[in-house]
Amino acid sequence: MLGAKTLARAKINLFLSVGPRREDGYHEIRSVMQALELSDELYFRRTDGSRGRITLRCSDENLPDGGENLVWKAVDTFASETGVMDEGGLEVFINKRIPIGSGLAGGSADAAAALLAMNHIWELEMPLAEIERIAALVGSDVPFCLHGGTAVVTGRGERVEPLESLPSFQVVIASPGEQASTAEVYRRFDSVAAESGLPGEKELEQAFSALLEGLKKGDFEAISANLHNSLESATIAGDRLELFKSTALEAGASAALMTGSGPAVFALARTLEEAAEVAWELEKIAPVTIITGFADRGAQIAG
């Protein structure tokens, strides 16, 4: 097997509660993540290594092409854990469609796709559980991006409990077109929490339980009514976040929320017609506007 094409699906957080910083520097989270049809395409090809052990190119010049790229880290980690690539190399091309640094886990999705591609190219037939173990070494959102669908995610993001897949509700993504540093958002969150305290556990537990019940029933209204993201209080988007959310709601969205560490906002709509109306209004004020839908799977070998 000399090459592979993969799809790397984005995600949103229907629910994200963040606890205090742990001793290891990470925060304990509890999240409901949902995969989207929005995806990057990645192409992999084994080489003789004459042009380098790992060669990474991308359609977006803003994406780093060295060791700071999560795909590079995924390839390097997989090679170290399995012993492949002791000789030869790997070329990777990323056709970038997921906005960079937006809270949609584009880098983590690409890394998950890279792990699947390497298992496929070298014909290792590793069980998913072993790939998940390696994924957790690469990054916090990478294990979920392997699974996709709908899942409860805990720990620092490495524990994934899949739920029943939801209907493909429509999602409108609005991004201010700038990147947010996840580390900086969490630092801001720590500062806000130190000044005003964390959200009440009782209220969060009620919203989380109501959301899970809505997910079990596929109840769009119950899902929309119980979204939460603790990191909104630390967003760098400021007034634009509120403008995107209010615009989406006024245009007919059932709910709107920042995803992950932002600054992208997602809006939920039941039908494609409703989503188109929301996108029409958001496009007037947001540099990046995308209509997509829920997906029942994550990273995927596509050819």
Q: In the structure, what pLDDT confidence band is assigned to residue 199 with cuts at 50, 70 and 90?
A: low
Pick the catalytic residue: 11, 73, 96, 245?
A: 11
Running DSSP on this structure, what letter comes out for residue 87?
S
The pLDDT of residue 20 is above 90: no
Domains and CATH numbers, the chain: 3-165 (3.30.230.10), 170-224+231-293 (3.30.70.890)
pTM of the model: 0.95
> Which of 40-44, 49-53, 102-106, 225-229 is the least confident region?
49-53
Kind of pairing, strands 228-229 and 3-21?
parallel
Q: Which residue has the higher pLDDT, 195 or 84?
A: 84
Average pLDDT over residues 142-153: 97
Residue 234, both tokens: 């630390």
Q: Please report the pLDDT score of residue 155 as a whole number.
A: 94
The pLDDT of residue 168 is above 80: yes
* Proportion of the chain above pLDDT 70, given as a percent: 97
Q: Please report the pLDDT score of residue 237 as a whole number.
A: 61
Q: Please report the pLDDT score of residue 1 as a whole number.
A: 64
Residue 31, both tokens: 């999240």
Distance of CA 250 to the CA centre of its chain: 26
Average pLDDT over residues 98-120: 96
Active site residue 141: yes
Nearest alpha-carbon partner for 29 in 21, 19, 41: 19
Average pLDDT over residues 177-194: 84
What residue type is assigned to position 29 of the chain?
I
- Taking phi first (over 0 means left), then psi (-120 to 50 degrees means alpha), and beta for anything else, what does residue 302 get? alpha
Distance in angstroms (rounded) separating the CA atoms of residues 158 and 208:
19
The pLDDT of residue 249 is above 70: yes
Burial class (CB in 10 A: 0-12, 13-18, 19+), 156: middle
Q: In the structure, what pLDDT confidence band is assigned to residue 52 with cuts at 50, 70 and 90?
A: confident
Distance of CA 286 to the CA centre of its chain: 20
42 and 114 in contact (C-beta within 8 Å)?
Answer: yes
Active site residue 284: no
Q: In the structure, what pLDDT confidence band is assigned to residue 240 with cuts at 50, 70 and 90?
A: confident
Q: In the structure, what pLDDT confidence band is assigned to residue 123 with cuts at 50, 70 and 90?
A: very high
Q: How far is CA 209 from CA 121, 123, 160, 163, 258, in A?
A: 42, 42, 17, 14, 20
Nearest-10 Cα torsion for 274, 151, 70, 99: 10
Q: What is the pLDDT of residues 128-146, one digit of tens each?
A: 999 999 999 999 999 999 9
Q: In the structure, what pLDDT confidence band is assigned to residue 236 with cuts at 50, 70 and 90?
A: low
Pick the catalytic residue: 40, 73, 96, 141?
A: 141
Q: How far is CA 185 from CA 29, 75, 157, 181, in A?
A: 14, 27, 16, 6
2-25 burial, b for 16+ CB within 10 Å, e for fewer?
A: eebbbbbbbbbbbbbbbeeeeeee
Q: How far is CA 84 from CA 8, 63, 89, 134, in A?
A: 22, 26, 10, 14
* Proportion of the chain above pLDDT 90, given as a percent: 76
Q: Please report the pLDDT score of residue 189 as a whole number.
A: 86
111-131 burial, b for 16+ CB within 10 Å, e for fewer?
A: bbbbbbbbbbbbeeebeeeeb
Q: Which residue has the higher pLDDT, 40 or 197?
A: 40
Quote the mean pLDDT of the chain. 93
